[in-house]
Structure 1
């Protein structure tokens, strides 16, 4: 193991784990010796296809369901790390956005993140150590027209992570957030992009979108998993309350 990246005998919780960044984090932790993974996603079938070698506990659930967390928390014997990752994307300008759509996004991206993080923090306090990473977005730092609900939800979770870091440093718990730019995940498979994908092919459209960044391409989920893994690991022992920008230079 690389120094600071040994997760032997530790337990990590990952939400949104069936695909994208969450699945990549689960695999990264597995490769780096994690003892047990607690994986949560609405896509139960996807959770069963990750091909992990460590002990795995899967829950098909909605992270915005308070009852789920109330039932899970007493069953958590130990928790060392958490990846607060589940989220959905949406389009629409604020003046035109339906309130029901606004609430749908906030319920998953913000309320679900709060329920996940608060549960994880209480579990970590039992052992007096731990680390959590919240998946925010560069759109929570840089205003991007047309995705108001998503951007606002991600700005909120980034600040939530910083507040949680201040509240829990004395408990031996670190909390950070990551703000990705464009990442090639299923979040782009939206109705807004279906026509372009059908006409030009998904790979070509994503490649063209990636050319708008200084790096010239979108990140992969595995690249983001390595960044998140660093923040979770002992290699970042002095890092807490930060929002790591990983955007290929998009905000330059």
Structure 2
């Protein structure tokens, strides 16, 4: 199992769940990246933690962080944002906000991790989305950014293989994370009936298995893909969507 791991978007949701899960599965050191300095400071785990406060879209931040990343043997490229809006109604600024984090930020994170692993090998998992596989009205920017990310993972896997760097992705459908709070439709419904009830309502409509994933479940799948049990898996997307894409 990897022992020195980079996680972006580590202060909440899937990123935090990954940090918590990996900290109990052989990890010795975590490099946690997030824009939320307060939330990042509150994370307490039984491993060595380096905290990097900043925006994953900031190339200079990644250049400055190179010494901090020395020795990492795994990475979770997880930072992302959500949003919704029909193409005809979507502002270019909103398109750029979503795509810049989910794709540009993922590229810079992935590049930094691959540079740090060059010569020693490692494993990387990116957080994609079922929205990058199954088209739905109203999620053009988010879906397109995640579709591009899944293809980027395949290219990275081909380029990383000679360096013994494996690159995979997970593609959840609904996951009960704070990213939903930025989706107006969900926020409005949660205000009406409560957050848990809103998740249950959405899942019943959208997912054959009738529920959304918990962050800890996705973290366990990420941990598997980073582990030696997945030593021959690269360039793959693990779709963990409760049947949503069927």
Q: Which residue of 2 aligns with 1:164?
A: 156
Structure 1 residue runs of 5 or longer lacking an equivalent are 1-5
* TM-score normalised by the chain length of structure 1: 0.94
1:241 matches 2:235: yes
Q: Which residue of 1 aligns with 2:27?
A: 34
Tell me how far 1:75 sits from its aligned partner.
3.4
CA change 1:75–1:187 in 2 (3 A) is closer
Of 130, 133, 145 in structure 1, the residue corresponding to residue 122 of structure 2 is 130
Listed as ranges, the matches of 1:75-86 within 5 Å are 75-86=68-79
SS of the equivalent of 1:121 reads helix
Distance in 1 separating the partners of 2:113 and 2:187: 37
Runs of 4+ in 1 over 3 A off after TM superposition: none
Listed as ranges, the matches of 1:9-20 within 5 Å are 10-20=3-13
SS of the equivalent of 1:96 reads coil
Structure 2 residue runs of 5 or longer lacking an equivalent are none
Q: Is the 8 A contact 1:27 1:50 kept in 2?
A: no
Q: Which residue of 2 aligns with 1:151?
A: 143
Distance in 2 separating the partners of 1:33 and 1:232: 12
Distance in 2 separating the partners of 1:94 and 1:243: 27
* TM-score normalised by the chain length of structure 2: 0.96
Tell me how far 1:138 sits from its aligned partner.
0.3
Distance in 2 separating the partners of 1:194 and 1:209: 12
Stretch deviating more after TM superposition (47-56 or 64-73): 47-56
Aligned length: 244
